Amino acid sequence: MPPSTPEGTELVRKVAYHFEEIFTDDEDVIMFFTNNLEHFEDEFEEEEGKDEEEKEHKMIYTELYNEFETLMEEKISDVAEKLGFDDATEFFSTLQDTLNEKEGYEQGEREQATFDAVVASYDYEKFVKLMRGKAKGKMAMARAFGAA
């Protein structure tokens, strides 16, 4: 039985907190993005206006996805343990039940962005979309400050 809405809301808040911390403070994750965003930067001019499904995927995307998936499995297991779950499977099952129960409740923007990033570690297409979005944001920031 999934937690009731107040407890479920607390679980979602705790999970979002831990994963936001991973994506902003964890050296391994930060280095992964820092070292690999360049592989996603060069396609914006040549593929502008195409839907995500129409864009070409480089061979390195699969290698990077596999690396990210392995890294995130380790981080997800750590979060599951911190929250008192026996394993990542139990953790995700409870989280999914909680999110299903919360249907109709608004997710916070930060919570949703965090969960989208976690889901990207289990879905190749979402991973590529995440990386492209981060690369595009990095390029826009560089242009705004005159670095590009």
pLDDT in tens, 98-136: 776 665 555 666 667 767 777 777 889 888 888 888 888
The token pair at 55 is 């864009």
The residue among 99 and 82 whose pLDDT is bigger is 82
The CA dihedral of 36, 117, 70, 11, to the nearest 10 degrees, is 150
Reported as type and span, the H/E element at residue 7 is helix 5-25
CATH of domain 5-144: 1.20.1520.10
- Whether pLDDT at 27 is above 90: yes
Please state, in angstroms and rounded to a whole number, the distance separating the CA atoms of residues 19 and 121.
Answer: 12
| Predicted TM-score (pTM) above 0.85 | no
Would the pLDDT of 1 be above 50?
no
